[in-house]
Amino acid sequence: MARVTWNGCCRARILPTTNDEGRTTKMTIGVLALQGDFDAHRKRLEELGAKVVLVRKPEQLDQIDGLVIPGGESSTFLKLLGEKGFEKLKEFVRVKPTFGTCAGAILLAKEVENPKQKGLGVLDIRIRRNAYGRQVDSSIREGTLNGAPIEMVFIRAPKIEHVGPGVEVLATEGNDPVAVRQGRVMAATFHPELSPDTRVHSVFLHLVEKFHL
C-alpha cells in the first residue's frame, strides 16, 4: 500500500507502493493535455511523487493508471478529442480512475444544463455550466474538504445542482457540493491545481492506488 507523509497542513507526499515481490512501483498518472492548465496539474501531481504523462493521443491512455481531465471549455474538448478519441476516453473512464476539474467535471456528468451537452456520463450528477458567471466573475473562496478549510479557485465554474444516491460529497462551498466521487470517478467544479494546497490531488492519488492492479 502507499504511504503518506505530511508537510504541514496543506501538503502530502505519496510514497511509492510496494508490490507482492517487494519491488517498488510508481503509479503513472495521465493529464489530458489538449487545452486548459494541464501543466499546473502535472506540477501538483509530481509534488506528490507521481509519475506524470501528458496525454495528447488516444493510445497513451493504455499506458496510465489514472487520468486528470483539466478545465477549459467542455465543448472544445469534444471537438479536439474527435470521435475516435472520445470513444477511447469513454472506455477508459469506465474502468480506470478519472478526475475532472471544471470542464472535466462537465464531461464526466450524466446530465449537463445551460445548454444540454453530451458527455461521458459516468458520474451521477446534474451540472450547470457557467453557473458562477463569466470570466470577470472568477473568485477565490474558502470551502471545506473532508471537514477542513481549503482555498478554492472558481473560473467560469459550473455548479452541481443534483447529486445521485451513489455519489459521495468530498468538498463543499457554502451549501453547494463542489467535489464529489462515485466509484473510480472524481470531479471538482473549482481549480485545485491553481492553489498551493495539494490535498485534492492527494485524494485522487489515493483513489488511483485503491484500484491500482
- Catalytic positions are 102, 191, 193
Which residues are CB-neighbours of 56 under 8 A, at least 6 positions away? 33, 34
- The span from the CA of 49 to the CA of 158, in Å, is 30
Residue 100 is placed in which grid cell?
475532472
- Among the listed residues 7, 1, 55, the one whose alpha carbon sits nearest the alpha carbon of residue 28: 55
Q: What are phi and psi of 85, to 5 degrees?
A: -65, -40
- Among the listed residues 100, 26, 90, 97, the one whose alpha carbon sits nearest the alpha carbon of residue 58: 90
